[in-house]
Amino acid sequence: MTGSIFLQGDLNFNGAMEGDISAANLTIGDTSMIKGELFADTMVVRGRVEGSIRGRRVQICAGAKVRGDIIYVSLAIEANAVFEGIARYSPNPVTG
């Protein structure tokens, strides 16, 4: 899939996509591959992401692979997750 998704609600994404995703609560599934920017208040990453992540609460789960910067208020990276990039705290990461 190519394009962008903008929701004010929750999204559980399972698939492949080139583009940006914005949602209130976002979960990237185990087999998902995203190339683009992700924005969410609460984000759980179980699959692969190539691009920046901006979220208030970000969780990178075991087995996930993230290549890109993360801007966050709260960040958790589980054992056996892969993160390549820069993590930076911001009091308001989603809007700037």
Instruction: Report the pLDDT value the prediction gives residue 96, as an integer from 0 to 100.
Output: 58
For the chain, give every domain's residue range: 5-87
Distance between CA atoms of residues 40 and 21, nearest Å: 8
Distance between CA atoms of residues 65 and 33, nearest Å: 9
The alpha carbon of residue 57 and the mean position of all alpha carbons in its chain are separated, in whole angstroms, by: 10
How many Cα atoms within 13 Å fall on the side-chain side of residue 25?
A: 3
Instruction: Report the pLDDT value the prediction gives residue 18, as an integer from 0 to 100.
Output: 97
Contact between 57 and 39 under an 8 Å Cβ cutoff? The reply is no
Tokens 């920046």 found at: 52
- Dig out the tokens for 59 from the structure: 């969780």
pLDDT digits (tens, 9 = 90+) for 11-28: 999 999 999 999 999 999
Contact between 26 and 60 under an 8 Å Cβ cutoff? The reply is no
pLDDT digits (tens, 9 = 90+) for 43-96: 999 999 999 999 999 999 999 999 999 999 999 999 999 999 999 999 999 875
Residue 33 has pLDDT above 70, yes or no: yes
- Dig out the tokens for 92 from the structure: 């308001």
